Amino acid sequence: MRFDTPATNNPIDQMKVVGQAITRIDGPRKVTGTATYAYEWHDASLKAAYGYPVGAAIAKGRISSMDVQAARQAPGVLAVVTAESAGKLGKGSLNTATLMGGPEIQHYHQAIAVVVAETFEQARSAAQLIKVDYVEAPGAFDLAAEMENAVKPESGDPDSAAGDFGPAFEAAAVKLDERYTTPDQSHAMMEPHASLAVWNGDELTLWTSNQMIAWNRAQIAATLGMEEDKIHIMSPFIGGGFGSKLFLRSDALLAALGAKAAGRPVKLALPRPFLMNNTTHRPATIQRIRIGAGQDGRITAIGHESWSGDLPGGGPEAAVMQTRLLYAGQHRMTAMRLATLDLPEGNAMRAPGEAPGLMALEIAMDEMAEKLGIDPVEFRIINDTQVDPEKPEKQFSHRQFVECLRLGAERFGWERRNPTPGSVRDGRWLVGMGVASAFRNNLVMKSGARVRLDREGVVTVETDMTDIGTGTYTIIAQTAAEMMGLTVDKVAVNLGDTRFPVSAGSGGQWGANSSTAGVYAACVALREKIAQKLGFNSTDVTFADGEIRSGNRAISLAQAAGDDGITAEDTIEYGDVSEEKQQSTFGAHFVEVGIDAYTAEIRVRRMLGVAAAGRILNPITARSQMIGAMTMGVGGAFMEELAVDKRRGFFVNHDLAGYEVPVHADIHDQEVIFLDETDPYSSPMKAKGVGELGLCGVAAALANAVHNATGVRVRNYPVTLDKIIRDLPRIG
């Protein structure tokens, strides 16, 4: 099915099932421990052995010698695989570093060997017996030191301009020119990267934890020099990904190589330190923001530059993208520059681009509002735009940005905010409020599904879409139920299997909207097949209460299916509709914090997120995504930082003891409001995405609240107590 224009007579618009607060259909399996994750396939017939990885102990250089003899002779060991014994490996097209190093080393903890043994403990013990000699080479590990060597990225759209920024900025009545930094950060999800590999002749089966299994299959095929149809991947449940599991990672490759060498199925989970240094992370940024405005508060010039780093062949953290679209201003420029660093690979993580970009931009907007003497909410509203500021001929498909700000301010009690920093106290606590805008572009992806109606009147949906804990099983079931006139209990959903039609996958905030649109397309095809079989006019039928109806005729779906059932398959593809309108999601975050006046301890008291993100397919699962993302924003604001050893080139705090993330005790009152919105230009579902929108802007709102509470402006994340304690207002 091709989607070019808003659909008419759309069954989804009935909203009998879609849009309803239905609890997760996979919930019972998860809370009872019967949902099977990648490392948990315990079929006794597999007789799986265990793999344990060995990572490089240097960040750059080469291996001069590797002695694996003692490891091979250790108890229970079945195989030891190195880059030399593995033979020539290809490079997955999306990886900047090879997944198995040797003799050249590209980054710390790059996998250089895998040990396979009968038990996990034997594999881990034997891995310690491998002796490696290195020749270290000098590396670049400090983004600030490499800024002068940063270059314009070769691909993508790193720079943009409209008007004449330089002169307009200089002529502005009120100007801001500041620098902001965000640190390297880790995905830090609960489930590690894990895979179970099984060979049957020249065919490979992988149970793995991966968000985009079609991409994964293509990349492992390229790496191993195989045909894609010889690879079968299953990933029905994923315990968190956040971008780290978008691409092929070393767990899958090492498990496949180990299983081939050992002649046995092999399961392998990357140890926690490998998550930080072996897989991808969010790269640090240095951002310069310049804003010029008139005394009336209208922006006349806005410029945003960002520097980030990656391995050779990598790309920039696209931190300027939201600045191209969020606020009005005739004269504008954005630019991204990329430094070559020898740190582990930088790549997609939790709203890549907009999340760190808004961490800077939304502090700058508050600073500018303060210079102008305008309320921060009102300053943002003054500078709203209904068209792409760089391409004024292109309108937004739907933009309720101002509505988010106004409703959020009303519900949060923003009028009670004292604009004078450091003036509100609650005993020993300094109290402040902060606001920030939320923005994330709406992306759509080609997505397919297969639907089958059986003689019991049950519809089964099959698609290789994955569920990373966001409620995919449920919203897909709701879509099929709505389309076929059923209740959710009459729909079965099977996900995460490359034998099923290729879907959008889970990433980029496109998963829910795109995958359900694919199910919509398949159900349209199924409806037509059923009507054709019964001799009904497919344009004049109704599917409701488990029946198909036309005029005064009504036949149950079970009867229509017959003994053989009816199957249909289709894929949603997008025409020019996304080019005709700028599609984005919008929101606003309001927060209140308390700062201990003596210790500078920070406590988050209240959080409110308001989102305009198209049709909300399920308010329960959508709210879960929002509050989860808002919680991640607390981490980004106050805790999360991968500490770089700038001499040796690795992330020092590479475990969950040293890399801090928010826990239940850090979060108090959270409220979420979804605006009533449908966007007919987005897809037949008229939905968008909320998972990453809920994160965008949160950290800046918190940083702005800290300033309102204390008068201390912190421009370098995370906002930790050592950065504010010396300048706290005195009490008493």
Nearest to 365 by CA among 295, 435, 294: 435
Q: Which residues contact 664 (CB under 8 A, 6 or more apart)?
A: none
DSSP of 272-287 = HHHHHHTS-BBPPEEE
Angle of the 354-372 helix axis to the 619-638 helix axis, nearest 10: 70
| Nearest residue to 9 (alpha-carbon basis) of 519, 546, 516, 540 | 540
Could you tell me the two tokens for 273? 């330190």
Comparing C-alpha atoms, which of 222, 373, 354 is closest to residue 296? 373
Residue linked to tokens 């004269």: 331
Phi and psi, residue 415, nearest 5°: -65, -20
Is residue 569 within 8 Å of 451, Cβ to Cβ? yes
Note if 592 is an active site residue. Answer: no
- Which segments of 454-556 are extended strands (E)? 459-462, 491-494, 542-544, 547-550, 553-556
Task: Return the SS3 of 483.
Answer: helix
- Give yes or no for a cis peptide into 103 (omega within 30° of 0): yes
d(CA 23, CA 33) in angstroms, rounded, equals 17
What gap in Å lies between CA 265 and CA 260, rounded to an integer?
A: 8
Q: What is the largest CA-CA distance in the chain?
A: 85
C-alpha separations of 132 from 325, 418, 645 in Å: 51, 61, 21
Q: Do residues 216 and 222 lie in contact, with contact meaning Cβ atoms separated by under 8 Å?
A: no
Please state, in angstroms and as integers, the Cα–Cα distance from residue 248 to each residue in 156, 176, 215, 221, 244, following that order: 22, 43, 8, 10, 9
3-class secondary structure, 220: helix
Within its chain, how far is the Cα of 669 from the centroid? 24
CB 286 within 8 A of CB 116: no
Q: Decide the pairing of beta strands 447-453 and 602-612.
A: unpaired
Provide the token pair at 240.
């968190």
Please report which helix (H) or strand (E) contains residue 521, including its range.
Answer: helix 511-534
Distance CA 380, CA 376 (A): 6
Peptide bond into 718 cis (omega under 30): yes
Q: Which two tokens stand for residue 616?
A: 């909300």
Query: Which residue in 191, 305, 370, 692 is the catalytic one?
Result: 692
What CA–CA distance (Å, rounded) separates 696 from 283? Answer: 16
Contact 345, 314 (CB under 8 A): yes
Contact in structure between 613 and 672 (CB atoms under 8 Å): no
DSSP 648: T
φ and ψ at residue 211, rounded to 5 degrees: -80, -30
- Quick one: which of 186, 256, 191 has its CA closest to 219? 256
Distance of CA 101 to the CA centre of its chain: 27
DSSP annotation of 673 reads E
713 Cβ contact partners less than 8 Å away, ≥ 6 residues apart: 363, 367, 707
Q: What are phi and psi of 73, to 5 degrees?
A: -95, 0
Which residues, 6+ apart, have CB-to-CB distance to 34 below 8 Å? 28
Distance separating alpha carbons of residues 649 and 314, to the nearest angstrom? 17
Residues belonging to the active site: 692
